[in-house]
Amino acid sequence: MFADVPELDGTLVFTEDALTANSRDTGNIFHERPHAVLRPGSVKDIRKMIRFCGAHDIKVAPRGLQGKSDLDSPQLGGSFMGGGLVQGGLAIEMRWLNKIHSIGPDGAVVDAGLQWDDLIRAAYDKGLTPPAITGYTQLTVGGTIAYGGYPTWSTNRGGSQADRVQWIEVVTGTGEFKRCSPSENSDLFHAVLGGQGQFGVMTRAKLDLVPAKQMARTYLLTYPQTTTFDTKAFFKDFRILLDRNEFSFVTQLNPPATVTPFTIAANIFYDQGSEPDTAHLLRDLSISPEAVPFSDKPYLDLIFSVDQGYDTFKAMLDWDNKIHPWSTLFIPDDKVEQFFDAVLPTLTTRDLGGTGFLITWPSLRADYKRPLVRVPDNGKWVWLFGLTTDSDAPAPDTAYVTEMLARNRRLWEKAVELGGMVEPECPPDLTSAEWQKHYAPVWSKFSAWKRKFDPDHILTPGPGIF
């Protein structure tokens, strides 16, 4: 299959370790074994191999990276439902292209295989930070913005990480290399950002940066459950905090393995000498400001706090080898209480596992500008509802997978019934027809872009969109 491949700056690998590592992703649910793994030494390698694969009808999937590992160690891809896997084809380990080319007030130019935590640290050394940061940051830049990338740990405004991209460089499914932006090759720009790898392989990007604060304060507002969960008080306070726009970001994240009580984490970034005014920030809520605990820590300590938790899970609980049937959904503003009232009574600790979280993160709907980053069409806010479900044991468990995938489909069906939709990184096992409904308002563009940029349909078959 890979006889007579072109000369490469990097290497084409066929070892058992490399093929096995690239046959699974973070979800550890689906397993698809590639025939070869490209460790590119240059963008030219990617162009050459995509052209080779197109000529030989070989499928190709770029692979991001979840977690830290040496380049010579096996990597774990960041998708959850097999989206980055390719059976019998070519997996491209993007982590080999991982340089920071420049950092300044006008933005950062980085390789798509760079991990966000490395960029965050380097930018902070210059007093800067990306404005849109995910909870877990040990993910590649190209991997998150290919799905949108949701800044659940930094802001409720500004859209997705894809909305904070100034330009990208892409190798299309025909092997063409193009730089694209809102004003240059704009159709490819809008196709690739949020396009799930269907139209090209990102190789480099210029990303927004903003001035960074020195400190972070987190207020924890807890809403205890008596006989039922009081969704009205919870969401009323949530919306007051959001509408005032006085906090840097507001989210809900329960301790691991707990469904209730619910806790709003209201976070504000600040500089030393400009400490937040607690009484002012927490005025007119259902909970007295005096009853709300808070903690202060350096900015990066908060930004990397989710990473630190997962580093512990990986080191002590064999987290990477557990099964992770995560579910993340977007719910419309006017239906989020109805969704919670229907779903919360059905959840148990089994729906989380010993290391799973329940997350609620609202964001301003109007700030999503990239056409393929789909969110509900109505309301001021859209609400991400996430279950980061983990199995208790690392061993394969077919019955558990079947149970949780059925649960994820029920949750998705309920969300769709209420006008919501899936977040594409953690979908149920959707059919091509169901993906078409997901992209319905832009499906004509989506399919036209596929014909234009990947006419042989070799790129990223994992999601099953076509």
346-390 pLDDT per residue, tens = 998 899 999 999 999 999 999 999 999 999 999 999 999 999 999
Residue-wise pLDDT for 103-162, tens only, equals 999 999 999 999 999 999 999 999 999 999 999 999 999 999 999 999 999 999 999 999
Tokens at 300, concatenated: 């990066």
Q: Are residues 243 and 297 in the same domain?
A: yes
Q: Are residues 278 and 397 in the same domain?
A: yes
Residue-wise pLDDT for 266-314, tens only, equals 999 999 999 999 999 999 999 999 999 999 999 999 999 999 999 999 9
Q: Are residues 207 and 219 in the same domain?
A: no
Does the model's pTM come out above 0.75? yes
Tokens at 334, concatenated: 């006017």
Please check whether residue 263 is in contact with residue 223, taking contact to mean a CB–CB distance below 8 angstroms. yes
Q: Are residues 255 and 358 in the same domain?
A: yes
Domain at 159, CATH number: 3.30.465.10
Is residue 440 in some structural domain? no
Residue 90: enclosing H or E segment and its boundaries? strand 90-93
Q: Where are the beta strands (DSSP E) in 272-401?
A: 294-298, 327-332, 358-364, 381-387
Domain of 164 in residue numbering reads as 100-211
Tell which of 184, 211, 238 closes a domain: 211
Q: Are residues 356 and 309 in the same domain?
A: yes
Q: What is the distance between the alpha carbons of residues 3 and 362, in angstroms, rounded to a whole number?
A: 51
Domain at 23, CATH number: 3.30.43.10
Q: What is the distance between the alpha carbons of residues 64 and 72, in angstroms, rounded to a whole number?
A: 15
Tell which of 211, 229, 252 closes a domain: 211
Q: What is the distance between the alpha carbons of residues 66 and 116, in angstroms, rounded to a whole number?
A: 11
Name 108's bridge partners.
Answer: 103, 207
Q: Are residues 414 and 372 in the same domain?
A: yes
Is residue 442 in some structural domain? no
Please check whether residue 393 is in contact with residue 120, taking contact to mean a CB–CB distance below 8 angstroms. no
Residue-wise pLDDT for 248-261, tens only, equals 999 998 888 888 78
Tell which of 211, 244, 261 closes a domain: 211
The per-residue pLDDT for 226 is 54
Q: Are residues 193 and 50 in the same domain?
A: no
Q: Where are the beta strands (DSSP E) in 99-213?
A: 100-104, 107-111, 128-129, 165-172, 177-180, 200-207, 210-211
| Mean predicted confidence (pLDDT) in 212-220 | 99
Q: Are residues 230 and 371 in the same domain?
A: yes
Is residue 439 in some structural domain? no
Query: For the chain, what is the radius of gyration of the CA atoms?
Result: 22
Q: What is the distance between the alpha carbons of residues 458 and 265, in angstroms, rounded to a whole number?
A: 43
The answer, yes or no, to whether residue 67 has pLDDT greater than 90, is no
Domain count, the chain: 3
Q: What is the distance between the alpha carbons of residues 458 and 51, in angstroms, rounded to a whole number?
A: 10
| Lowest mean pLDDT across 114-118, 392-396, 444-448 | 392-396
Q: Which one, of 354, 355, 378, lies nearest residue 368 by Cα?
A: 378
